[in-house]
Amino acid sequence: MNFKPKSLVLFILLAVLFALPSQAQTCIKFEAPAFPIPTVYGTPAAQVSGDLAFTFNLIDAYIWNFNTFGPGIAFNRAYIDVAPVAFSPGQSLRFNNISMLFDLRNLAFAAHRVTFAYLDLGGYENLEVNGSLHLGELTAAPAMLGGTSVSVSSTPLPPPRSGKFGTVTIVGNVIKTVRVGGQELWIDSFCVSQ
């Protein structure tokens, strides 16, 4: 084979690019048409904890009990909404005393990173990774949860509103499930990457 110098450089560059690992990613952004307002999950939809709410981009989402302080649980509703304070573009998923479990095991790649934006206007939250539960404020989530590292950014809302918004980032060798819920909580841009 007779290559010219420019052709050889191009050939080597393409070989290197194809040899690099690809970064697979999938997101749920809770926008229409897949998520029209006023889609509702939970008690008003005659669902019980553990029912499949939806499947999107190979992520199965199950409606789930909300753990309260003490031995109690709540199960109210989650619904597609436009948040009263902009924290992400467009629509989002609002939780009212309920949780949702995102099962990542059917993806075509192993999940090593999960991020989502949140708006917290009160109450406390549930954050569970691979079966290990944190109950309390998202901003107080432990640095390690379910064999993963967790970091939460937070920005307070300007007065007269009270609350905060930010991003939750979960990184680990294997992330199989993530459950999130709250009392006055919105999430958006739930993204999973390898």
pLDDT tens for residues 8-41? 444 444 443 344 445 799 999 999 999 999 999 9
* First-to-last C-alpha distance (Å) of the chain: 38
pTM summary value: 0.88
Q: Is the pLDDT of residue 109 over 70?
A: yes
The reported pLDDT for the residue numbered 70 is: 80
Per-residue pLDDT, 6: 59
Query: Residue 12 has what pLDDT?
Result: 46
Tell me the percentage of the chain whose pLDDT exceeds 90: 86
Average pLDDT over residues 30-57: 98
Helix, strand or coil, per DSSP, at residue 76:
coil
For range 146-172, the mean pLDDT: 96
Cβ atoms of 52 and 111 closer than 8 Å:
no
DSSP strand E in 58-184: where? 59-64, 66-67, 73-74, 77-81, 92-96, 98-103, 113-120, 125-129, 132-136, 144-145, 148-152, 155-156, 164-172, 177-182
What local confidence, expressed as pLDDT, does residue 23 receive?
A: 76
Average pLDDT (84-104) is 97
Kindly state the average pLDDT of the residues 167-189: 98
What is the distance between the alpha carbons of residues 27 and 67, in angstroms, rounded to a whole number?
26
Helix (H), strand (E) at residue 187: strand 185-193
C-alpha 158/C-alpha 193 separation (Å) is: 32
71 band by pLDDT with thresholds 50, 70 and 90: confident
> Coil, strand, or helix at residue 63?
strand
Instruction: Indicate the average pLDDT of the chain.
Output: 91
